[in-house]
Chain A
């Protein structure tokens, strides 16, 4: 019953096809889209702008604020009611934490830099796609960044098979009886140092398999990082030629 061959014939460490685009929203200071398989995330950066309410302002530095939202028609099932949910609020927070440590906003005291992540189409891995899009959008906006955080989900089926970037069908193998347990590990890594800025796991996994998954995440995020860099360089090439 063990899940050893992937439904869509991918290799264990192979992600779905990725399309990264930078500068897609003219109104924003920085913007990007990140598509991985059937999951798409848009990110737009606005600011630095004055932070309200005032008591939240920090005279030493600007603050990063992230907001994650799914469009009402983005889910595979019924329409999603617009507005914040407990889930979207939590993802907003982890997105912010995944990105904040690489940002140096000390040049912009008392301000806020807003990152809006929107999901038009979801097939699992939306928070990771959102973080990748947000990373590119922040870089596109021209902020000082120590690194470009890259996020990916790694799954572990029945504490045996470790595979990268599960889609919805793979995330729910336990519901279709193709596996007993599926652990879903969402992780954000700073490619330069290998540090982890975001880690969430649900499912069941041993320590050994968890670290196997993290090693896979490191390798996969390095590859994605190259894709993001290509997209960013493309954008600045266009700007330079104007």
Chain B
């Protein structure tokens, strides 16, 4: 086994972490919005050394046939080769697809955006909201960093001018995208039977499994994703959810 991974695992057994954090301690989190002038909404989030930028683009298109009076929501993630020696250029990896889908479900299932309000004319024209996650420096826990960035960027979003035919991106309106709920994803990892939060990259390499739970203001859970092959007992899952709810409050306060 890689000596750093072995060291991380040995430390955890003694109840210690590589950077001397507590098991349930997040790294410093900072959120800055309105960082990309070409996007309709944007946010730059730093979580320790992990950095992500999310930009929101709004466009007008035809609705999906099965939801003729609902706007569309699209989340994509690019694990930029610029952000880590582990990422390569090429088609989206399973890691980036999972990241995008977990963030997507948190926003979609919480009904953070009322997709009916994105309808312009039924069966013809609806607003499409594209949420693009770009990693600047990947040092672990991209799920939580991207989750905070996504909701911060959506809250920052304003509609561009639309005359019924074309969108004029040069002219922005004052009309904000209405955000009804604020879903916060919290990822809890299992490492040597310990539950820990906010893993840095070298800890993530040593983890056994993880659960990402997306939590709303009132403690409602709106999406869950378990990752990794190691099983969790139901007792452990209970602890995971309690910890996720507790941590979501801390993160929410930073928004």
Contacts and interface: CB of A to CB of B under 8 A. Distances in A.
11 contacts: A25-B83, A27-B49, A27-B137, A42-B136, A71-B78, A73-B55, A73-B56, A73-B132, A116-B89, A121-B38, A122-B38
Contacts, number: 97
Nearest to A71: B134
Nearest to B168: A77
The winner among B51, B82, B169 for most chain A CB atoms within 10 A is B82
B78 A82 contact: yes
A72 B57 contact: yes
Contact of A118 (B38, B82, B170): B82
B65 interface: no
Contact of A27 (B76, B139, B170): B139
B250 to A, nearest CB: 24
A49 B56 contact: no
B116 to A, nearest CB: 22
A223 interface: no
Nearest to B55: A73
Given A82-B76, A82-B78, A76 B170 contact: yes
Across the A-B interface, the 5 shortest Cβ-Cβ residue pairs: A73-B55, A116-B82, A73-B39, A79-B57, A44-B82
B84 to A, nearest CB: 5
A75 interface: yes
B37 A67 contact: no
Nearest to A75: B38
Contacts of B39: 73-74, 121
Interface string B160-177: 000000010110000000
A26 B83 CA distance: 9
Contact of B83 (A44, A78, A84): A44
Contacts of B57: 72-73, 78-79
A80 to B, nearest CB: 9
A123 interface: yes
Nearest to B78: A82
Given A73-B42, A82-B132, A27 B36 contact: no
Given A26-B137, A42-B136, A71 B82 contact: no
A81 to B, nearest CB: 10
B9 to A, nearest CB: 22
Interface in B41-85: 42, 49, 51, 53, 55-57, 59, 76, 78, 80-85
B56 to A, nearest CB: 7
B132 A67 contact: no
SS of A interface (majority): loop
Pick the most buried of A73, A76, A122: most chain B CB atoms within 10 A of its CB.
A73
Give chain B's interface residue range (CB within 8 Å of chain A). Answer: 20 to 34
A122 to B, nearest CB: 6
Interface string A73-110: 11111110011100000000000000000000000000
A146 interface: no
Given A44-B82, A74-B36, A123-B38, A25 B132 contact: no
B80 A118 contact: yes
Contacts of B199: none
B92 to A, nearest CB: 8
A67 B81 contact: yes
Contacts of A158: none
Nearest to B92: A82
Contacts of A74: 36, 38-39, 55
Contact of B53 (A26, A67, A71, A83): A71
A118 B139 CA distance: 18
Contacts of B118: none
A120 B36 contact: yes
Indicate the member of A44, A46, A76 with the most B CB atoms within 10 Å: A44
A49 B169 contact: no
Contact of B139 (A24, A26, A49, A79): A26
Contacts of B80: 69, 116, 118
